[in-house]
Amino acid sequence: MIKNKLIKNAKKIDSFLLSYLKKQGKSLLSEPMKYGVIGGGKKIRSTIILDAGKIFNLNQKKLINICASVECIHSYSLIHDDLPCMDNDLFRRGKPSTHVKFGEASAVLAGNSLLTLAFEIIADKKFSINPKFKNELVKSLAFCSGHTGIAGGQELDLKFEKKKKSLRQIIEMQKKKTGKLFNFCFFSIGVLANRSKKEKMFLKNLGEEVGFLFQLADDFLDIKGQKKIVGKPIKKDDKKGKSTLITLMGYEKANKYANNLKKKILLKLKKHGKKAKDLSDTIEFILKRNF
Ligand code: GRG
C-alpha cells in the first residue's frame, strides 16, 4: 500500500533530520525548524527519490541525504508560503502554520535556516560521494530553488493573482514553483547513477512533468478535497484569484489534461520495465490522492 510506503519513508527521513539537528546543538530556531520539517507532510519527494533510485539499483541508504535536503527546501518554501506577505494561511499539515505558532520573524528565520541546512546536508563529509557528483547536486539544487526555480515560480504565482493568464504562462509558473524541486529529485538520481548528459536531461524534464502533475492534483484538492484530510485550507484559489488550469479551462478539461499528462509520464517510464514499478505506482497515487 502506497500509504504505508509513505509513512515508512517519512519516518526514515524524520529520524535522520532529528539526529542531524541534535548533533548541531540547540538554538532558538531548533523548535520552529523541527515544527516545520519533522512529523508532518507526506514526504512524497523523498519517496520519489527512493523509488527512482530503484530503477538504477542505487543503495537506498546513499539517498537519505538527498531526501532530507529536498525536504528542508520544501518545508522552507511552505513556511514562507504561509506567511502573511505571501498566501497568509493559518493552517498547514493539520496544525497551525509555523508563523502562527512561533511568530513571523521566527518563521522567516527558521525557513532561511532550513534552506542553508539543505546545502549543509549535501556538503556533509559523511555523505561520501564523488566530489564531482556533489558539485552537480549543489549547483542543481541552488538553480531549482532560487529565482530560476521555486522562488521565481512563487513570484509569478503572486503576480498572476486576479489576472487572466495563458496556458503557456500558467504551465511556466507551475513548472517553476512546484516542478523544479521534482526536477532536482529525478536529476539527483541520474547524477548518483552516473548517467549520460542526455539521460540526466531526460530525467530533469520528466521530474518537472511529475511536479506539474503534482501541482495539478493540488489544485483539484483545493476544489474537491476535505480540509481535515488535506490538512490545509481549501477553496482558497478562487478567493485569491489564483491562476490555475482549472480557472483557465474548467475542472473537467483540466482533469482530462492531467490524466493525459500522467499517461505520458508513465509511458516514458516503460523502458525501465519492472524496475520502475514503485515509481509508477507513486505517480498513479499523485493524481488520485485525497491528501
Ligand atoms: C526558494 C524554497 C524557496 C521558497 C520561497 C514561498 C516560496 C518561495 C515558494 C512556495 C512554493 C510552493 C508553496 C509551492 C507549492 C507546492 C505544493 C503543491 C506544496 C504542497 O506539497 P505537499 O502536498 O505538502 O507535498 P506536504 O505537507 O505533504 O509536505
Cβ–ligand 1 contact at 151 (below 6 Å)? yes
- What are the CA-CA distances from residue 195 to residues 135, 201, 202, 278 (Å)? 15, 10, 10, 20
Cβ–ligand 1 contact at 44 (below 6 Å)? yes
> Do residues 88 and 99 touch, judged by C-beta distance below 8 A?
no
**What's the 73 CA to ligand 1 centre distance in angstroms?**
9
**What's the 274 CA to ligand 1 centre distance in angstroms?**
31
> Do residues 200 and 192 touch, judged by C-beta distance below 8 A?
no
Three-state secondary-structure class, residue 28: coil
Nearest to 52 by CA among 177, 189, 171: 189
Which letter, b or e, does each residue of 190-209 get, where b requires 16 or more Cβ atoms within 10 Å of its Cβ? bbbbebeeeebebbbbbbbb
> Do residues 21 and 155 touch, judged by C-beta distance below 8 A?
no
CATH code for the domain in which residue 209 is found: 1.10.600.10
Give me the residues of the chain with pLDDT under 50, please: none
Helices then strands, counting H and E runs in the chain, come out as 16, 2
* pLDDT tens sequence across 146-157: 999 999 999 999
**290 Cβ partners below 8 Å, 6+ apart?**
221, 225, 226, 229, 230
Domain range for 112 is 2-288
Spacing of C-alpha 116 from chain mean position: 17
**What's the 222 CA to ligand 1 centre distance in angstroms?**
14
The predicted structure's pLDDT at residue 1? 87
**What's the 177 CA to ligand 1 centre distance in angstroms?**
8
> Do residues 108 and 29 touch, judged by C-beta distance below 8 A?
no
Number of domains composing the chain: 1
Cβ–ligand 1 contact at 46 (below 6 Å)? no
- Is 0.85 surpassed by the pTM of this model? yes
* CA-atom Rg of the chain in angstroms: 18
Sign of CA dihedral 14, 17, 22, 28: negative
